[in-house]
Each structure stands twice: as C-alpha cells, then as structure tokens.
Amino acid sequence: MSDVYVAGAGMTRFGRLDATLLGLLAEAGAGALRDAGSPEIQAIYVASMDPEELADEGSIASLFAAYIGRPRLPSLRIETGTSSGAAAFFAAWTAVASGYHDHVLVVAGEKMTSRPTPEVAAILSRMIDPYERSYGATMPALAALVARAYMEAHDLAPKDLAQVAVKNHANGARNPLAHFQRPITVEEALESRFVAEPLRLYDCCPISDGAAAAVLARERHRVRVAGIGHGADHLALRHRDCLTGFRATQAAARRAYAMAGRSPRDIQVAELHDAFTPFEIISSEDVGFFEPGQGARALARGRTALGGDLPINPSGGLKARGHPVGASGLAQVVEIVWQLRGEAGGRQVDARVGLAQSIGGLASNNFVTVLEAVA
Amino acid sequence: MSDVYVAGAGMTRFGRLDATLLGLLAEAGAGALRDAGSPEIQAIYVASMDPEELADEGSIASLFAAYIGRPRLPSLRIETGTSSGAAAFFAAWTAVASGYHDHVLVVAGEKMTSRPTPEVAAILSRMIDPYERSYGATMPALAALVARAYMEAHDLAPKDLAQVAVKNHANGARNPLAHFQRPITVEEALESRFVAEPLRLYDCCPISDGAAAAVLARERHRVRVAGIGHGADHLALRHRDCLTGFRATQAAARRAYAMAGRSPRDIQVAELHDAFTPFEIISSEDVGFFEPGQGARALARGRTALGGDLPINPSGGLKARGHPVGASGLAQVVEIVWQLRGEAGGRQVDARVGLAQSIGGLASNNFVTVLEAVA
C-alpha cells in the first residue's frame, strides 16, 4: 500500500449561506487545488448525504465535474449519512493507496438551509432504524437517550454537557469559517430551550450549509495519512449492548491506530463528532484519550481546551463550526491538516499528530483518520 | 497494487417484482457470499442510484448491513447515476487492490416499479445537464438525438437498430433471470410505438427492479479483475465534440486495456450498456471491437450473436435482462463471471477473457472492466 499525503485543503465559510450546493463544492475544491499547487488530478470523489432531497440535484458527481469545467475527470459520489465526507476521503485514499491514481480531489458538502427545518429533520431521520423511526424517534430524541444513559452511568449534570458547547463556541469564535463565532456562557447554554430533554438547544449542532475539500497525492507533502479506520454498529439503538460508548468509533480507532503504529497517547489534537454535546465526551473515550467516564472530567479540567494538553475541536466542532452533514467528516480532516501545518490562525495549537473522528447516523457508520506532519 | 479476484457472484431475477430494495440486495448478496464459500468479509460496498426517491430509503449502506444481520460490517454507498453498480465494483476493487481489505461484498440494486413511470422519468432526468433539462430534454429524447446523428453518419435504417433488440431478446429468452424472456421479431420491434423518434418502445430498456452482487478477494479465485477504467465526458450533449461515439467509454476502455495488458482483439465476450439500442452499437465501437460505423454491420452478420465470434450481451443486456439502474453495472460483471466460469447455462459462450461496459447518465460517467479466467 502506497503512502498517501494530503497535498491541499480547502473549505468554505459554514452557516446559513446564499450559495448553491455546487457553488459551495466548487469554492472548497478550488481552494484545495490552489493549496496543492494545482496538480494534474485523475479523479474527483464527491460526498453529499442527500443532494436529491436537500438541494434538488442528482448525479452530483458528474454535475460537479461539469460545473467546475473539468467534465472529463472521472467522478464518484460516496455516501454514509453524516460521515459521508470522511467516507469519501477514505474511498479516495484507497484509490491513491492502491496506486491506481496519483492525485485525487475530494469534495464534500451539503446545502441544508433552503429546506424548512421539519423537512430537514425528516430527511435526517432516514438514518434511524425503521422500527424505531416508526415510533417517532428523531435524531435528537435518540441522542437524548444516549445522553441520559451516559449521565446516569457516570453521574453527570447538565452543566457538564454545557461545558462542551462553551468550549466549542469559544473555539468557533476564533475560526473565521465557523457558523457561530460568538462565545457563550454556561448560563446561556443551560437556559436555552429543550430540544429533547436533557438536550437543550446549545447541546445540538446547527443546520448549516458548507463544503470542504482535500487533494490526496502519492508524492510527498507536509501531511501524511498515517492511519484510517472504518467501523460500524447496529443501526437500532435497542440492539446495542452499550449506550455509553460507540463501538463503531472504537472499531475504527483500533484499525486507524494499528495502521499508523500509534496509540491514543500520541495524538496531540483532535476533531471529534460533537453533533450533540455528549457525543464529544463519549467520542473522546471511544478513541482512547480518556477512560470510560473520564471524558467530562478531562473537559472540566480544561485539558481539551485550546490551551490544554489535548485540544479537541479547535475549529469549534460541529457544534460551532456547523454541520452541513455531508461536509463535516472532511471539514474535520481539513482542520487537522491546517493545525499540523501551523495555519490555524488564532486557534493554532502545537501538534505533529492529529485525529479526526466522524459519526454516520446515530454512530452506526463511523470513521477515524490519523494524520501526521512530515518532518 | 495487489491482484484482485471475483470470489463469488449473485443476482436476483430482474423485472417487475414484489420484493423491496433491501430484500433484493439481500438476496443477491446472499447468493454471492454463498458462491464465494462464505469468507469473512471486511466491508460492504452498496450501489443504488436514488433509493431515497425511488424506494423511500436512506442511509442505504448502513440499512443494508443491519438488514442482513451484519451490522458491524463497515459499509459505504457509491453512486454515479446509471453506472453506480460498476462504480461500487471499482471502489471496492481499490479497497482490495490497496491491501486495506481482503474480502469485500459489493451489492447493487434498484427498486423502480413502485413509482409511477412519470416520476421515475423525472428522477432519471436528474442525470441530464440542467440547461438541457430546462428545455424538456428526457433521457430517451437525448438518446434519440444520438441515434439520429449516428444513423445519419453511418447510413443506418431503423431495422439496423431493431436487430439489437431482436438479438438481445433472443438471449434474454435463454436467461432465467431476465426481465423479458420472450424472443421478438424485427417486425414487432419496428411496429412498436415511438418513445422518442427514431427510438421505438423496443429500442428502449424497460424499467425494472433487481439486484446483483459480487465478492472481491485478494486470494486467488477462478476469475481475476485484469483491468478497470473510469472515464467521463461533458454532461451536456451540446458541449461534446462527437455524438456518434462516447469519449467516456473510450477513455475508460483505454485505461482498462492498458492495465490488463490486453487489446480489444483479446475479448471473447462482452456486456455492453444497451439502455437504448444504438448505444450497444456505439459502445461496441467505443471499446474497440469494431471501427467507427462498423458496429451495425458486425451485428447484422451475426458476429455479436450467441454463436458469433464476439457475443455481446449474452445475458439479454439492459434491453431484455432489464435495467434496475443502480444494479446494471454490476449485473454485467456477474454475467461475465458466469460466462468465464462456464456457468451461463443455455446462453453459455466459449470465453476466457470478457469485458463489461457501463454508462452513467447519458454517457458522462462510464466504466470498463476486463475480467479473465484464471488457468
């Protein structure tokens, strides 16, 4: 298997935007290509969760290639729900690692705000086990079940969850591409309305538009893809043997660490899938940073803040950078690339090895990617 | 890059079926796994063009893994319009060729007949360039433009197109899985109603349900993936420099032959994308079997019939086996595998090297795969 490097990275502003899905993908893609020094690309991998229903566009891969004036570049679309961006990065990585392609452009985006929120919620509900969905389960409702189980098992209070939002909004305030760029207080978070008890508005990521992009290359660049893992678990929450950790993340992390020859102790910065605040805490345990039940304590002690020993979600995470579903998995990788290259501006941390973890559905289809700065 | 073999193949009956999309995918997948000797699979690659709008199902990859009781198998969905089945085979191939996975299950399917035909047509129209679509272009209308250009350039009569349908229906009559299993006459074809002049009903593939599956392996099996190519061209017909050949196929074929160390003369059986009768003729030239303009002559002489020197679409092709859009690209590969293994029953031909060619959209996103029997 060939070594694969990230030759370029790009990203749009995230938020409630006027741009179309194609416009967003094109802006991110152009940024990544420029950053990579405009190499000759052999293929395009496109991630978008549901452009048909969210943006009224189909055949999105071919359409994107045509839109950017590269119609003869072969293109593919990859989809795994909310981890689609990470999935496209993985699929493109296999194409380069196999030696089949030398340079591949990966773009990932979603246009969500042009549909009314109830329609978006219905589309997102496609990721829920059909039987559980038939009883009215929504993504926040299922996340609330997980939150309750975790809070009960590890004696957490609502303010412990709120700390995730406070940290990530503080980070987002330093990220000019973030959806939310305003710090919030614990009090604001705890006073926000319930979405699905115990989760309040500030425990949930926003609905966002946005896109991210990366160029993968076999030739040496400053950031190497050291390890990559793909893990899965029961779609139905009721079939799982554990609600306080996500086996899909744990399996993906094991594979990524084994491939990288790394352990959790080597990771110096991470982007974790905080679509709901408890998910950041759970994910920080699933990837092995902290023992089960210790994630919230590490957070409370400031260890995962920008100035801590293991900064998590310096970008603001899904919570504050925003969550255009198909884009997020790749946006995380882009943030880690920028951090490892020292290009993260006011949110820069000191790191040579970073990790991105993306959740598909309610943690049924997850990815973990380990990236390293090359000396 | 590791050698990759097809360890198993499976397929459902194609046609207007009662089964659900998940049921079809599961039946095909179980067949391929059984055929492969039930190896330990590391991942599932799923192709479906638009399960959200055609079958009201999302997150189809995770849903499929759960449905077959393998929820902890990582899964991905791949989509390139009507070539999605070939695209998933390609993406899975890169995963195995890279050495990342040892065994991968690829399933491809579509459930189309539960939606009224006008709705299906509107969904298929997503594959058309938006500007051309805004003028009312449909897939058959654009195929008719291509047919007219080709017929004019090479002096073809409607009966020359009808010969494709007659040959493929004759083949379909020998395929117990085909949507249509009744031979037709040239007269019947020429008397059928116009869909988009000069294309009549019998020049067009049906709307079908169905699924196909394959298991890819790094360990040696009886059929090897010798070459694989992915090519693209302008989405908009008006931007192309040629309407009588498809550059996307030509580019894919060049890459597949180069990788296989083969030339068109080595191919002994082929499955070509005959969604419309002229496409089989054009494709037979694009992959280099015949000089431009000579495809119809070769057909008329019986060279591409079951008893000819280069049988094309022994399965019946999209025309008679049917065209569940996301499934077809993989169904072609399955047919070639069966032919190379001598398991094609009443439609068996004598071949050690075969080729499958799949068209995405109106030939904007195409794949060519060369398969070889291993001594």
Instruction: Taking residues A336-343, report their average pLDDT.
Output: 98
Per-residue pLDDT for A346 more than 90?
yes
Q: Does A361 touch chain B (CB under 8 A)?
A: yes
Backbone torsions φ then ψ of B63, nearest 5 degrees: -65, -40
| CB spacing of B59 vs A66 below 8 angstroms | no
Residue of A nearest to B240 (CA): A71
Q: Residues of B numbered 150-189 whose beta carbons fall under 8 angstroms of chain A's beta carbons: which are they? A: none
* pLDDT reported for residue B263: 98
* pLDDT reported for residue B51: 97
Ramachandran quadrant class, B234 (left: phi over 0; alpha: psi -120 to 50; beta: rest) = beta
Indicate if ipTM > 0.90: yes
3-state secondary structure labels for all residues of chain B: CCCCEEEEEEECCCECCCCCHHHHHHHHHHHHHHHCCCCCCCEEEEECCCHHHHHCCCCHHHHHHHHCCCCCCCEEEEEECECHHHHHHHHHHHHHHCCCCCEEEEEEEECCCCCCHHHHHHHHHHHCCHHHHHCCCCHHHHHHHHHHHHHHHHCCCHHHHHHHHHHHHHHHCCCCCCCCCCCCCHHHHHHCCEEECCEEHHHECCCCEEEEEEEEECCCCCEEEEEEEEEECCCCHHHCCCCCCCHHHHHHHHHHHHHHCCCHHHCCEEECCCCEHHHHHHHHHHCCCCCCCCHHHHHHCCCCCCCCCCCECCCCHHHHCCCCHHHHHHHHHHHHHHHHCCCCHHHCCCCCEEEEEECCCCCCEEEEEEEEECC
Burial class, A327, CB count within 10 angstroms (exposed 0-12 / middle 13-18 / buried 19+) = buried
Backbone torsions φ then ψ of B362, nearest 5 degrees: -90, 60
Q: Residues of A numbered 26-45 whose beta carbons fall under 8 angstroms of chain B's beta carbons: which are they? A: 43
Instruction: Taking residues A345-358, report their average pLDDT.
Output: 98
Per-residue pLDDT for A206 more than 90?
yes
Residues paired with residue B36 on neighbouring β-strands, in sequence order: none
* pLDDT reported for residue B1: 87
3-state secondary structure labels for all residues of B122-182: HHHHHHCCHHHHHCCCCHHHHHHHHHHHHHHHHCCCHHHHHHHHHHHHHHHCCCCCCCCCC
Contact A217, A358 (CB under 8 A): no
Q: Does A358 touch chain B (CB under 8 A)?
A: no
pTM of the model: 0.98
Percent with pLDDT over 70 in chain A: 100
**pLDDT averages per 10-residue partition of chain B, 375 residues:** 96 98 98 98 98 95 97 98 98 98 98 96 95 95 98 97 98 98 98 98 98 98 98 96 97 98 98 98 98 98 98 98 98 98 98 98 97 94
* pLDDT reported for residue A365: 98
Contact B360, B81 (CB under 8 A): yes
Size of interface A-B (CB pairs under 8 A): 191
3-state secondary structure of A49: coil
| CB spacing of B71 vs A234 below 8 angstroms | yes
Instruction: For residue range A289-315, list pLDDT tens digits in order.
Output: 999 999 999 999 999 999 999 999 999
Instruction: Taking residues A111-122, report their average pLDDT.
Output: 96
Distance CA B89, CA B57 (A): 21
Contact A89, A329 (CB under 8 A): yes
Instruction: Taking residues A200-224, report their average pLDDT.
Output: 98
For residue A23, give how far its alpha carbon lies from the nearest alpha carbon of chain B (Å). Answer: 14
Q: Does A97 touch chain B (CB under 8 A)?
A: yes
Distance CA A134, CA A188 (A): 34
* pLDDT reported for residue A281: 98
* pLDDT reported for residue B320: 98
| Chain A residues closer than 8 Å to B78 by CB | 76-79, 91
* pLDDT reported for residue B154: 97
Q: In the predicted model, what is the mean pLDDT of chain A? A: 97
For residue B347, give how far its alpha carbon lies from the nearest alpha carbon of chain A (Å). Answer: 33
* pLDDT reported for residue B270: 99
Band of residue A1 on the pLDDT scale cut at 50, 70, 90: confident
* pLDDT reported for residue A27: 98
Tokens 């219905």 correspond to: A122
